[in-house]
Amino acid sequence: MSEGTPIQNAGRPGTRGEDRVWTVLELLRWTTDYFRRVGIETARVDAEVLLAHALETERLRLYVDYEKPVLVAERDRYRALVMRRAGDRVPVSQLLGEREFWSLPFRVSSDVLTPRPETETLVEAALGKVAAMEGDSGRTIRILDIGTGSGAIALSLASELPHAEITATDISEPALQIAAENADHLHTRERIRLLVGDLFSPVASERFDVIVSNPPYVARSGAASLPPELSHEPEMALFAGVDGLDVIRRLVAEAGDHLSPGGWLLIELSPEQVDVVEQELLNAGFVDLERHFDLARWPRVVGARRRAE
């Protein structure tokens, strides 16, 4: 654009950018181009979401308001967001402080992993297991979510399963604080137990019907090639040793002692880890192994059952 820029110059006295009136569409075009130049793949969507946030409106509303001029104060708010997105590569979810998961609004911060759409595969798989168990017995089903982070999995399950007993753990206290806030916000606080500690240590002598986990599973060996946005999420939520399997191996080794006979273990992982993890499950005595696929058709969750006695 030739007449200054809406981002660098906006609001600064004496600059051409301030003199110029920018419409919604012009701002979106300029920012999309800027984001593309710095390597942000989701350039247009990010521009729209951030502008809608700065204007305190819905994203779809922007399409109706394309020709509307944006006030200087609004443009200043937008500029601050755009600079953090492009400069520090802060993820949009953290700029907004919120991400939708399972059609529910989850508060997120740099203390938790932003819930990913593929994790809904794990929620779906768990609901399938619970439905079969409830149908079999009519009893209260006990569910454990290891490494709950924002609470995405546990609270989505709580929203669907009013009669289940749900426990969620995390090694990170700040993450559990966010999970507690989300539980309050989603009116499920009284239905969920949040415990801090390493894997099964907070539930040492307890057994569950379904254990779910989306543990850290990124390989340290590939860290250099990861998108810069990941540096804004906690290391402990992402990395698990050289091959990414340190936490999953421990989960598989210890889960049997915390499952009721016939209970299910469901673990999210990276598709290339499936074969190794299935072998670990078989070695640990699990049966009835199954794979669940995400929307991109990648095997994203492995399920296995503790032998019924």
Ligand X SMILES: C[S@@+](CC[C@H](N)C(=O)[O-])C[C@H]1O[C@@H](n2cnc3c(N)ncnc32)[C@H](O)[C@@H]1O
Tokens for 59?
A: 């994203």
Among 156, 188, 214, 270, binds ligand X (CB under 6 A): 214
Smaller CB separation from ligand X, 112 or 259 = 112
Q: Decide the pairing of beta strands 208-213 and 142-146.
A: parallel
Q: Does 113 bind ligand X (CB under 6 A)?
A: yes
Q: How far is the CB of 223 from ligand X (least distance, A)?
A: 15
Q: Nearest distance from residue 176's CB to ligand X, in Å?
A: 9
- Applying CB under 6 A, among 31, 32, 172, 270 the residue interacting with ligand X is 172
β strands within 67-213, DSSP E: 98-101, 104-107, 142-146, 165-170, 192-196, 208-213
Q: Which residue in 6, 215, 263, 303 binds ligand X (CB under 6 A)?
A: 215
Q: Which of 55, 161, 237, 302 forms a contact with ligand X (CB under 6 A)?
A: 237
Cβ neighbourhood burial of 224 (10 Å; 0-12, 13-18, 19+): exposed
- Least Å from the CB of residue 110 to ligand X: 12
Q: Determine, following the binding rule CB under 6 A, whether residue 31 of this chain makes contact with ligand X.
A: no
Find out whether 51 and 82 touch, Cβ atoms under 8 Å.
no
Q: Interface with ligand X includes 245 (CB under 6 A)?
A: no
Of 72, 40, 42, 34, nearest in space to 55 by CA: 72
Q: Which is nearer to ligand X, 32 or 156 (CB)?
A: 156
Residues in Cβ contact with 95 at an 8 Å cutoff, skipping those fewer than 6 apart: 50, 53, 81, 84, 85
Chain residues binding ligand X by CB under 6 A are 112-113, 115, 119, 146-150, 152-153, 169-172, 175, 198-199, 214-216, 236-237, 247
